Amino acid sequence: MKRIAFFFLLFLASQTVHSWKKDEFRACDQTPFCKRARFRKPGSCTLIATDVSISDGDLTAKLVPKAQQDHDQDPIKPLTLSVSVYQDGILRLKIDEDPSLDPPKKRFQVPDVILPEFESKKLWLQSASTEKLDGNIAGLSSVVYLSDGYEAVLRHDPFEVYVREKAGNRRVVSLNSHGLFDFEQLRVKKEDEDWEERFRGHTDTRPYGPQSISFDVSFYESDFVYGIPEHASSFALKPTRGPGVEESEPYRLFNLDVFEYVHDSPFGIYGSIPFMVSHGKSGKSSGFFWLNAAEMQIDVLAKGWDAEDGILMPIDQNRIDTFWMTEAGIVDTFFFIGPGPKDVVKQYMSVTGLPAMPQLFSTAYHQCRWNYRDEEDVENVDSKFDEHDIPYDVLWLDIEHTDGKRYFTWDKLLFPHPEEMQRKLAAKGRHMVTIVDPHIKRDDSFDLHKDASQRGYYVKDATGKDFDGWCWPGSSSYPDVLNPEIRSWWSEKFSYKNYVGSTPSLYIWNDMNEPSVFNGPEVTMPRDVLHLGGVEHRELHNAYGYYFHMATADGLVKRGDGKDRPFVLSRAFFAGSQRYGAVWTGDNSADWDHLRVSVPMILSLGLTGMSFSGADVGGFFGNPEPELLVRWYQLGAYYPFFRGHAHHDTKRREPWLFGERNTALMRDAIRIRYTLLPYFYTLFREANVTGVPVVRPLWMEFPSDEAAFSNDEAFMVGNSLLVQGIYETRAKHASVYLPGKESWYDLRTGTAYKGGKTHKLEVSEESIPAFQRAGTIVPRKDRFRRSSTQMMHDPFTLVIALNTFQEAEGELYLDDGKSFDFKQGAYIHRRFVFSNGHLTSSNVASSPLGNSKFSSDCIIERIIILGYTPGAKTALVEPGNHKAEIELGPLGFGGQHGGGAAVTIRKPGVRVAEDWKIKIL
Amino acid sequence: MKLTISLINLSVVFFYLIILSDESSPSPPSDSFLGIPPQGTSACPGGKFFCKNVGHSPLLYSSRVNDGICDCCDGSDEYDGKVKCPNTCNKAGKVAIESLKRKIEVYQEGVALRKQEIEQAKRAIVRDKAELSALEKEREAVGKLVSQLTELVRKLEQEHQEKNEDEKIEAQNEKVENEKSGPEENADSQIEPMKTSEVEKQWQSNDSPSDQNEKDGDESSEGLSREELGQLVASRWTGKMTGVQVKEIDQAKNDQENGGRDAGYKESEADNASHQSWLNKIQETAQNFLNLFSAPVANLDANQIRKEYDDYTAKLSDIDSRISSLTGKFKHDFGKENEFYLFYDRCFELEQDKYVYKVCPFKDAKQKGGYSETLLGNWVEFGNSYRLMLFTDGDVCWNGPDRHLKVKLRCGLKTELTGMDEPSRCEYAALMYTPILCLDEKLEEFKQKLESMNQVQEQGLNHDEL
């Protein structure tokens, strides 16, 4: 009986341990601003725009209540509104309290997110035209130019801002069309008021009282909306309110360290990007971004939600309405007109910046575990990769490598020779990553803490003392990274001198930067904690991790004298984090649902700028069965960021621990990534130049293919490859939708499949469905090496997939893989075009700015042509007019069986850096 | 299924082989598609490369060829000239030979020790078997004696009954009392069992979402200090228990342990040497009692009889337990030559970091630190052809698997535990050296290897001189 009781107790204990503690986090109806806002009725906004004029190149106005107010209410002061227009079809709408009217406090505007050069893209408005809308009594509107064919409109009464296409007067994006706009102005507390908020034993003093903002945003020509990460849910955002929607929370944007998050929930997790993209049947996309770092809640409204509110909306345009609520800050919003999906992404990036060009090694495979115990363990794992001939590039050390969770230190017993350890890895071209979190152990013998506290660099609690929270090291404080001076101080800590035991092959991982505070409300920092200039934590919470990531990345740049690209992985993120490095989807679980949800999560991140992202392969919590682990490697090989990671309670799961067969399968999966590294690196460069993400939704490449709009099982890697995971155990078949009109070639067998169809395919354990799109050329490197470093001089293979016109094209980008010289033009960028039986290679790089040039002696050793009628025997190579053999050869993709046969030009002997032409005779 | 292609490139005077492993294509692609030189390495998965490696070991994955890292000691894997590799074969070969020689020395001595160990084991088995058969005889004798004594005691009691009514009553009372006290020792059954429903309620109340959330919050975290709350939340990830949790689990664990695991290992150690004389003595005593039977009951010393009765009943139970322990011992698998027989009564200790590890083959393995003791596992069996000892079902890990331990066995001159490791949480691995693993076959293998290495080394030297 006792024993039963004991096991029962254990069972219950483990149950409580292994579940998302939903009630520890605030639901909307426990969050006063959200609860209030959700109760608002359409049309309740009475603000009208007055004093509309052009000033300093902006369209400006004051927002005042239309009706006389009740006498017992606080007087509503006029708000200031400005509409600015920027190049490439971007409208910026700002609404704030009028500083000249002496508000009790300046409302927070998020600094250092918008690119400095963005301001230079501003178009100075000269004039606004006024128009009167028929059928509307008070319908005066001011209209300004936005871009060719587009206008921005400010309707005065009631106030509404929207963007429209001139032709056909078709709307694109609008704000306050439903009159849900509300702006709680800061005011002095009345005697009988209680502003405090209490949640599970935590008290938020809220010294400045209510200050929330909410409004509705509508997207036109829209069937789906996407974006606003980070949530573990479907890619196309499901409605959270309205007809047919069960009781649902809004999508929450609040950076939180959620223990064992669930795989299908609008709940907020580690990062926040308040950027939404809409897409519809017309093939057009538009976007909306709200630069605000306070807690945000967003409802996606189901069609018909406004059936009874009597507000007239254009009915000939498919529309999706959304409702945005935030606790503090100002309205600083951006409307992006598209019209293509890639245009929207580019427009967003011109505001928040392009993704950083990563180190080549960081685009390869990473091996992580909490924790590799000691130097011997590291050496052993490293040598096992070699023993099993599995390539990897980076070995990671989690928190246990430190001396008592004091970052920048080493456990002297476990890691007595960190430099030698790193040098041993570096000798094989491998790198190491160590973890550096923002919580600093409050220990007077710890120099970092002494330094920070003496300088007053910690965030302060509501009483003005250094905030003292609990995290891994126990009692901890957090640097105030909102402050540029403190960020600069932090970045110095990464110098080789300050970070004792670090070497040039060491890079950094920022975890827990939401920030995670174990004894704080919702496991984070109290909202009344104070930052630079009296800014409350509530106002910048979602950007804390961003500033920390920024300071760390800057530290690595400084460490390398500005010559070495940083690599910093962060868990928390905000709009703009793409400029500083990679992110991953945090502490996922080893189950099939989490494997499945990793795809929409990565798609959402890519769409909103975070091109370099991935999920922990294998799942962080729990022990994956070997089949799941293998499937995860097969899918993870196509994530932009490819890392295996595991919790310290899990069994060891390095790829060689599950029998020979599984080792071979995981080796093949990892090798696929290495084979495709030249293609991935080219895509990272594309993202770095255009913002178009490495991993994309199908509809980004096929904007008019409706069947692709809500598909988040499959994804595109660049414009050429389509990949779909296998998300269930013992799968025999998979239904794969291949979009577009052209064919698709199975990467392993070369078999062609028709586009625009769902194919029921047989599935083996050896691979997941992956296809090359007809009309594309993919560069590969087929020689297996220990790590990407040794592949530098290896020859290339080109895989040409011909379309119905027997044509194809593709690109290849190459540079030194690590320095910033590419910014001076030290790179090779080639375009390959196949048409009329000729393959030509031409330069698409702009000429170098300085003296730095990148050269490569790499050759092309093999050209595989899919979809070419066999028969040709030789090819003629120009210049030089020498002949190369053509025969049927293996596709050579995906390891064990080498794949099917295809027309192959052997040893054409051309250099990748040069112009040439190959004619098939 | 192995395909071997050899190429000779005269200009650089070396050869290499591409070996396709069994995994490769069932219809092997022609060599031309392997991307083999003039300037390449094998692009075939599983391809292998032979270093010329004069004087040292040769096999290498083809992924190491021309990768800028010198793998072959003669540098023959880096023939594209991008890096210059010094020839370290001679040195490496010498080092390898030296280390092999040392290994052989250890094995030579170890093989002898192993033989001794087996001899000793054989003797011990003979001795134990002899003890067992002696014990069985002894049991027979003592058993007889005890039944006779029982009879005598019964007689004595009858006598007393007739003689003295009062005494009779007293004796009865005593008997009743004895019966009563017996079961009472089993304290466990007397303790009120924990009420599952109550535990359930407790946990549920902690777990259920509170209705008046903004005001009340959750009781389980509300009552905690800020530090306790921090530790509680941290413990979800770390699995390290906070004070509150430790108390709960400890309580439960004690309950479980009182349930009587571990009880089986207490043994009464019988003294082998004095067995024979013991048997004689018993027989003598038995004879004496036989004589007593014929005597009138009145002449008997009642107290002495009772004492003898008590002594011999105790003796009988000792013998029984010793017999069962020996029979239990013989049920174990001690290896092909019973070479592990002497491990049975031995434990091996290792002090490492802040713990002392105690591994007792055929019994259990424990980790002691400070005042606490953790069971790493109970003996299961040998594995991997007697090169591994396996212990499982150790103490439950909070939020993890039950602890278990694998002890790898290696040839060494002393039997000792040398390293304890925890590769995954609560999965332990240890290394133990013992002469028992110093096998003759291995020694021969090493000797042959040394011979061939010496030959290669000599050839290499001659070659270098040319």
pLDDT confidence of residue B304: 79
Which residues on chain A are in Cβ contact (under 8 Å) with B233? 259, 470, 518-519, 523
Q: How far is B435 from chain A (nearest CA, A)?
A: 26
Which residues on chain A are in Cβ contact (under 8 Å) with B257? none
Q: Is the pLDDT of residue A5 over 80?
A: no
pLDDT tens by residue, B83-95: 888 888 878 888 8
Q: Is the pLDDT of residue B330 over 50?
A: yes
Q: Which of A519, A671, A892 is opposite residue B233, by nearest beta carbon?
A: A519
* Averaged pLDDT, A93-111: 94
CB neighbours of B226 closer than 8 A, spacing ≥ 6?
A: A470, A519
Q: Is the pLDDT of residue A171 over 80?
A: yes
Chain B residue nearest residue A894, CA to CA:
B45
Residue type present at position A136: N
CB contact under 8 Å between A862 and B35, yes or no, is yes
Mutate to test the interface with A, among B233, B255, B355 (most CBs of A within 10 A): B233
Percent of chain A surpassing pLDDT 90: 87
- Assess B183–A contact: CB distance below 8 Å, yes or no: no
pLDDT tens by residue, A25-61: 999 999 999 999 999 999 999 999 999 999 999 999 9
pLDDT confidence of residue B260: 37
Which residues on chain B are in Cβ contact (under 8 Å) with A518? 229-234
* Averaged pLDDT, A96-114: 94
Which residues on chain A are in Cβ contact (under 8 Å) with B195? 5
CB contact under 8 Å between B399 and A649, yes or no, is yes
pLDDT confidence of residue B196: 41
Q: Is the pLDDT of residue A620 over 50?
A: yes
Task: Say how many CA atoms lie within 13 Å of A755 toward its Cβ.
Answer: 19
Catalytic choice (A151, A165, A257, A587): A587
pLDDT confidence of residue B465: 39
Higher-confidence residue of A758 and B96: namely: A758
CB neighbours of B444 closer than 8 A, spacing ≥ 6?
A: none
pLDDT tens by residue, A478-496: 999 999 999 999 999 999 9
pLDDT confidence of residue B212: 41
Q: Which of B255, B256, B399 is opposite residue A14, by nearest beta carbon?
A: B399
Catalytic choice (A96, A480, A514, A668): A514
pLDDT confidence of residue A72: 59
Confidence tier at A373 by pLDDT (50, 70, 90): very high
Chain A residue nearest residue B239, CA to CA:
A649
- Assess B209–A contact: CB distance below 8 Å, yes or no: yes
With both helix axes pointing from N to C terminus, report the angle between B89-163 and B302-331 in degrees, rounded to the nearest 10: 150
List all residues of chain B from 107 to 136 with a beta carbon under 8 Å from chain A: none
Confidence tier at B25 by pLDDT (50, 70, 90): very low
Higher-confidence residue of B130 and B288: namely: B130
CB contact under 8 Å between A23 and B218, yes or no, is yes
Q: Which of A5, A17, A517 is opposite residue B399, by nearest beta carbon?
A: A17
Chain A residue nearest residue B225, CA to CA:
A519
Confidence tier at A78 by pLDDT (50, 70, 90): very high
Confirm whether A511 is a catalytic residue.
yes
Mutate to test the interface with B, among A412, A518, A525, A792 (most CBs of B within 10 A): A518
CB contact under 8 Å between B45 and A13, yes or no, is no
CB contact under 8 Å between A429 and B68, yes or no, is yes
Confidence tier at B76 by pLDDT (50, 70, 90): confident
Q: How far is A842 from chain B (nearest CA, A)?
A: 25
Q: Is the pLDDT of residue B29 over 50?
A: no
pLDDT tens by residue, B280-316: 666 666 666 666 655 555 556 777 788 888 888 898 8
Residue B435 sits at φ, ψ, to 5 deg, of: -60, -20
pLDDT confidence of residue B31: 35
Q: Is the pLDDT of residue A689 over 50?
A: yes
Which residues on chain B are in Cβ contact (under 8 Å) with A664? 23
Percent of chain A surpassing pLDDT 70: 95
Give the integer Cα–Cα distance in Å for B215 and A417. 53
- Assess B69–A contact: CB distance below 8 Å, yes or no: yes
pLDDT confidence of residue B285: 65
pLDDT tens by residue, A735-792: 999 999 999 999 999 999 999 999 999 999 999 999 999 999 999 999 999 999 999 9
pLDDT confidence of residue B280: 66
DSSP for B94-128 reads: HHHHHHHHHHHHHHHHHHHHHHHHHHHHHHHHHHH
ipTM of the prediction: 0.84
Chain B residue nearest residue A863, CA to CA:
B33
CB contact under 8 Å between A16 and B193, yes or no, is no
Q: How far is A202 from chain B (nearest CA, A)?
A: 9
Q: Is the pLDDT of residue B406 over 50?
A: yes
Q: Which of B26, B217, B424 is opposite residue A651, by nearest beta carbon?
A: B424
Q: Is the pLDDT of residue B252 over 90?
A: no
Residue type present at position A146: L
The lowest-confidence range among A56-60, A175-179, A245-249 is A245-249
Which residues on chain A are in Cβ contact (under 8 Å) with B401? 651
Which residues on chain B are in Cβ contact (under 8 Å) with A892? 33, 43
Q: How far apart are the first and last CA of chain A?
A: 85
* Averaged pLDDT, A86-96: 97
Confirm whether A443 is a catalytic residue.
no
Collapsed DSSP state (helix, strand, coil) of residue A123: strand
Chain A residue nearest residue B425, CA to CA:
A649
Q: How far is B438 from chain A (nearest CA, A)?
A: 25
B364 contacts B345 by C-beta, under 8 angstroms: no
Q: Is the pLDDT of residue B2 over 50?
A: no
B334 contacts B114 by C-beta, under 8 angstroms: no
DSSP for A61-84 reads: EEEEESSPPPTTSPPPPPEEEEEE
Q: How far is B134 from chain A (nearest CA, A)?
A: 41
CB contact under 8 Å between B218 and A201, yes or no, is yes
CB contact under 8 Å between A16 and B424, yes or no, is no
List all residues of chain B from 374 to 413 with a beta carbon under 8 Å from chain A: 396-397, 399-401
pLDDT confidence of residue B384: 87
Q: Is the pLDDT of residue B178 over 60?
A: no
pLDDT tens by residue, B351-377: 987 899 999 999 999 999 888 889 999
Give the integer Cα–Cα distance in Å for A544 and A552. 13
Chain B residue nearest residue A647, CA to CA:
B237
Average pLDDT, chain A: 93
pLDDT confidence of residue A368: 98
Q: Extract the runs of DSSP E, i.e. beta strands, from A347-491.
A: 365-367, 394-397, 431-435, 440-441, 469-471, 474-477
Which residues on chain B are in Cβ contact (under 8 Å) with A587? 237
Confirm whether A386 is a catalytic residue.
no
Task: Say how many CA atoms lie within 13 Å of B274 toward its Cβ.
Answer: 6
Q: How far is B411 from chain A (nearest CA, A)?
A: 22
Q: Is the pLDDT of residue B65 over 50?
A: yes
> Where does residue A249 fall: left (phi above 0), alpha (psi -120 to 50 degrees), or beta otherwise?
beta
The lowest-confidence range among A316-320, A439-443, A471-475, A786-790 is A316-320
Percent of chain B surpassing pLDDT 90: 28
pLDDT confidence of residue A610: 98
Higher-confidence residue of B353 and A580: namely: A580
Catalytic choice (A58, A398, A511, A536): A511
Confidence tier at B167 by pLDDT (50, 70, 90): low
Higher-confidence residue of B88 and A563: namely: A563
**CB pairs below 8 Å between A and B: how many?**
193
Give the integer Cα–Cα distance in Å for A459 and A539. 14
Q: How far is A424 from chain B (nearest CA, A)?
A: 12
pLDDT confidence of residue A850: 66
Which residues on chain B are in Cβ contact (under 8 Å) with A897? 25-26
CB contact under 8 Å between B196 and A5, yes or no, is yes
A135 contacts A125 by C-beta, under 8 angstroms: no
Which residues on chain A are in Cβ contact (under 8 Å) with B238? 648
CB contact under 8 Å between A664 and B23, yes or no, is yes
Residue type present at position A459: V
Q: Which of B61, B199, B401 is opposite residue A5, by nearest beta carbon?
A: B199
Confidence tier at A312 by pLDDT (50, 70, 90): confident
Q: Is the pLDDT of residue A611 over 90?
A: yes
Confidence tier at B7 by pLDDT (50, 70, 90): very low
pLDDT confidence of residue A69: 62
* Averaged pLDDT, A385-395: 97
Mutate to test the interface with A, among B83, B226, B398 (most CBs of A within 10 A): B226
pLDDT tens by residue, A374-383: 999 999 999 9
Which residues on chain B are in Cβ contact (under 8 Å) with A785? 63, 67
pLDDT confidence of residue B96: 85
Average pLDDT, chain B: 72
A296 token code pair: 């945000």
Which residues on chain B are in Cβ contact (under 8 Å) with A647? 237
